[in-house]
Each structure stands twice: as structure tokens, then as C-alpha cells.
Structure 1
């Protein structure tokens, strides 16, 4: 009976710090995951902004240029070629 009690107390002594260390490890993992998600969100936002600015550049500069700088017969075909190539 005494041996079982001592074994139980020994198990408690070793399990408590291991649980605390496990929780600390879980906290570090969660913090790293949140930092990674924040970085992904930042990169995705930058990509969206870049794509929007690129689309606005096509609409604002290339389309008017190919509409007014070329002869009327080639305007539509050339605009399609400029945009999609």
C-alpha cells in the first residue's frame, strides 16, 4: 500500500511539470500558427492590391491607347491581342 502511494506521488510530481511544459509548447505552437496566418494574410492583401492596380492600369492606359491611336479597322482585334497577350 505504501509503495503504491509513493508511486502515485512520484507520478504526480513528474506529470505536473510535463503538463505545464506541454501547455507552454502548445502556446508557442499557437503563437507561431497565428504569426504564420498573419503573414499569409499580409501577402494575400498585397497580391490583391497589386492585381487591382494592374487591372486598373490596363483599363486606364492600354484600352484608350489602342482605341484612339490605331486605325478604326484594327482597333478591336488589336485591343484583344494587346490585352490577352
Structure 2
């Protein structure tokens, strides 16, 4: 499933550069994760890097965007093919 950033975000700027899919960007008030680009780092890392570096634990599973590990890997492959 994709991830989402909740209202606890302090805009510390550490998550955005860690995202290998460029899925994180600054929204009107807090950072936002684009669920169409978020693979929870599947294909890149063993765990979501944004969650690893977040100092306030404000990143949660997206409640409306549920995906299996196989679906996340398929999304990773599709995103990689668009970069080539």
C-alpha cells in the first residue's frame, strides 16, 4: 500500500530527498506522498526510507490505497521503465 503523511509533519525536509521514486513533494502546508509513485521503496530498499528518517513518526499506510507486495513491485517496474 502507498504511504501518506499526516498532520504531525513538521516540514523538516528529510523525507523528500530519501524517496527513490520522487513521490514526496511539498504541499500547501505539509509534505504529500503521491500514491501513484509510492512503492514503499519496494525494488530499492528493504523498508520505506521516508519512515526510517522521519523524526516525528508522521508517515502512515494510506488507508485508501492498499496494494500487495506484488502490486508494489509491478508499480516499481513500471516507474523504472518510464525513467529509461
TM-score range, shorter chain: under 0.3
- Highest CA radius of gyration, 1 or 2? 1
Q: Which has the larger strand fraction?
A: 2
Name the structure where helix makes up a greater proportion of residues.
1
User: TM-score, normalization: structure 2?
Assistant: 0.21
Higher relative contact order structure (alpha carbons within 8 Å, sequence separation ≥ 6): 2
